[in-house]
Chain A
């Protein structure tokens, strides 16, 4: 399977079909036991831990179903975190984190902690964190799995915008209406890709 720059891909499949594993391999969180995965032409299988950390830091942005924000930190600090690992200085980190939060419509919640935000707001903070390093690839693992329909629509609108601005987006979902927004739908079954279709007219 090849995913081109700027594509918007949805991965669907029943539980245990391997879609999460696929995403982990794409995001360099896991290394494939066999086969080759090339990210922007580089073979990830031969990278050491430090190189993988650098790839995760610069090229990939993750959005998780559980949000995975650090409860003790403010929204702004949470978004800053990848930049901390990138070695950026504090003033620039703050500026970029603020800009990323404003972009997802959370500019007025900079100093809130995750516990003080709704699920949809937390997920938007998590998306801002995925964006802040300006990655080529945004990966989302059931980003709307824990959200109500209004928040889901909100979050999906953000992904739509990301795609519009030219970023590659891969998202995993159970929900057909979420998958319908993507340009390309990959279905998985028992660890194999069972279908791979270009949507003729993606829903907006």
Chain B
């Protein structure tokens, strides 16, 4: 008996029990579709986070004060926050000191209440320098950005992000208007572009809601504090993605020298790359994906047990048929193969239909639940292979039982 004939016999048996076969296929189908969709959901979320993080600026290094470990013990939060200064930033901006660095933007940041007329809005006020725009890969849609004179002269000017501007001025043109920050009037000189897109995540919404002022003005008039030269972070843009490592090294060397630190492990600052931010942000999503896929896998296992159950029922119910086939000359091997083919067909069709449902789901669901989903090719192929393997694997026991039946006992069965 050739394989085509075995396949045909399997199909005939499935057709003879349409309802039962359909329910079994449904069990596998749901499991496979669930796996594809949860993996799609997880990968979609990861893709979204990574695109948002890369939208913060390319080839970016972020220097923060305070080292996580120190040989002298744990440092206090406030003390460590003042270890980075404007002088550090100026030194790094020098082309001779750090040729791999394209631009440097020291920043300070705090939540402040902004008022304009009767409107008020709490947002994060960022004090920085002219290079911030390029480093963060932003543009100004109206007016202009801060320039070096604003920073040098401690001018009272502000550039607003779109959400902030519309919250304060509605549909009015914000440029040229006056905003009070911490009681001091600032002139709006420009409006930033929107990076929001769907705007549902905190990363993008915070980028669309901020107010940028010269760092010198911020230190003098808004934040105050004892050490006016200190900055909260220094953003550094490398000249290209290939020089990112060099830029990292130059920053590290220069800051260690400026801070008179001889052993690198004692550093009072940390440098983070976008890659590190990315892996931190996506690791949460990955955990979630694994969890969801685990649940989906359990439903797949239940589907597999369903296949085994149906095949066992089928063997019991068809004892006479098996006996007859043996009486007509079927060898145990052929009987086993017939049942295996049958369960594999159930598994495979469940897998294929489940993949179709999963693919349709990843296309349709995002528009319904406002969640990005991406179709994972390997998850789809893997799911189909697994479905087939489940059909085959859970079919082995029933098929072996069928093959072992003695023809005469099987025929005698009423």
Q: Which residues of A are in contact with B by a Cβ distance under 8 Å?
A: 24, 27, 29-30, 49-50, 53-54, 56-58, 62, 64, 68, 70-73, 81-82, 84-87, 129, 133
A57 to B328, CA, bound (A): 5
Q: Counting CB contacts under 8 A, is B369 at the interface?
A: no
Counting chain B residues whose Cβ lies within 8 A of the other chain, the interface size class is 20 to 34
Task: Given A68-B411, A72-B16, verify A84-B331 contact (CB < 8 Å).
Answer: no
Which residue of the partner chain, among B1, B330, B334, B408, contacts A29 with CB atoms under 8 Å? B408
- Which residues of B have CB within 8 Å of A70? 321, 324
Q: Are A49 and B331 in contact (CB under 8 A)?
A: yes
Which residue of the partner chain, among A27, A84, A87, contacts B327 with CB atoms under 8 Å? A27
Which residue of the partner chain, among A30, A64, A84, A133, contacts B1 with CB atoms under 8 Å? A84
- Which residues of A have CB within 8 Å of B411? 29, 64, 68
- Which residues of A have CB within 8 Å of B9? 84
Which residue of the partner chain, among B12, B324, B331, contacts A53 with CB atoms under 8 Å? B331
DSSP class of B's interface residues: helix, strand, loop or mixed?
A: helix
Q: Counting CB contacts under 8 A, is B20 at the interface?
A: no
Task: Given A29-B407, A29-B408, A64-B411, verify A50-B333 contact (CB < 8 Å).
Answer: yes
17 more contacts with CB within 8 A, not counting A50-B332, A62-B327, are A29-B326, A29-B408, A30-B406, A53-B330, A53-B332, A54-B329, A57-B328, A68-B324, A68-B327, A70-B324, A71-B16, A72-B12, A85-B1, A85-B328, A85-B329, A85-B331, A85-B334
Task: Given A56-B329, A85-B334, A87-B1, verify A68-B320 contact (CB < 8 Å).
Answer: yes
Closest to B9 in A: A84
CB distance from A4 to the nearest CB of B (A): 24
Q: Counting CB contacts under 8 A, is B153 at the interface?
A: no
Chain A CB within 10 Å, residue with most, of B9, B325, B328, B331 = B328
CB distance from B331 to the nearest CB of A (A): 4
- Which residues of B have CB within 8 Å of A29? 326-327, 407-408, 411
CB distance from A74 to the nearest CB of B (A): 11
CB distance from B2 to the nearest CB of A (A): 7
Closest to B334 in A: A85
- Which residues of A have CB within 8 Å of B332? 49-50, 53
Q: Are B407 and A50 in contact (CB under 8 A)?
A: no
Q: Which 3 A-B pairs have the closest CB atoms?
A: A57-B329, A72-B16, A85-B329
A86 to B331, CA, bound (A): 10
Q: Counting CB contacts under 8 A, is B15 at the interface?
A: yes
Q: Are A82 and B12 in contact (CB under 8 A)?
A: no
Closest to A54 in B: B329
A86 to B2, CA, bound (A): 10
A28 to B332, CA, bound (A): 15
Taking CB atoms and an 8 Å cut-off, the chain B residues in 323-381 that contact chain A are 324-334
- Which residues of A have CB within 8 Å of B172? none
Closest to B331 in A: A53
Q: Are A82 and B321 in contact (CB under 8 A)?
A: no
A58 to B328, CA, bound (A): 9
CB distance from A47 to the nearest CB of B (A): 12
- Which residues of B have CB within 8 Å of A64? 411
- Which residues of B have CB within 8 Å of A24? 408
A133 to B329, CA, bound (A): 10
Which residue of the partner chain, among A27, A73, A87, contacts B12 with CB atoms under 8 Å? A73
A68 to B326, CA, bound (A): 12
- Which residues of A have CB within 8 Å of B13? 72
Q: Are A62 and B407 in contact (CB under 8 A)?
A: no
CB distance from A65 to the nearest CB of B (A): 11
- Which residues of A have CB within 8 Å of B406? 30
A62 to B329, CA, bound (A): 11
CB distance from B410 to the nearest CB of A (A): 9
Q: Are B12 and A85 in contact (CB under 8 A)?
A: no
Closest to B410 in A: A29
A72 to B15, CA, bound (A): 9
Q: Are B16 and A81 in contact (CB under 8 A)?
A: no
- Which residues of A have CB within 8 Å of B321? 70
Q: Are A84 and B5 in contact (CB under 8 A)?
A: yes
Q: Can you list 17 A-B contacts with CB-CB less than 8 angstroms, sorted by A residue number? A: A29-B326, A30-B407, A49-B331, A53-B326, A68-B324, A70-B321, A70-B324, A71-B16, A72-B16, A73-B12, A81-B328, A84-B1, A84-B9, A85-B328, A85-B330, A87-B1, A129-B328
A70 to B320, CA, bound (A): 10
Taking CB atoms and an 8 Å cut-off, the chain B residues in 7-25 that contact chain A are 9, 12-13, 15-16
Q: Are A58 and B329 in contact (CB under 8 A)?
A: yes
Q: Are B408 and A30 in contact (CB under 8 A)?
A: yes
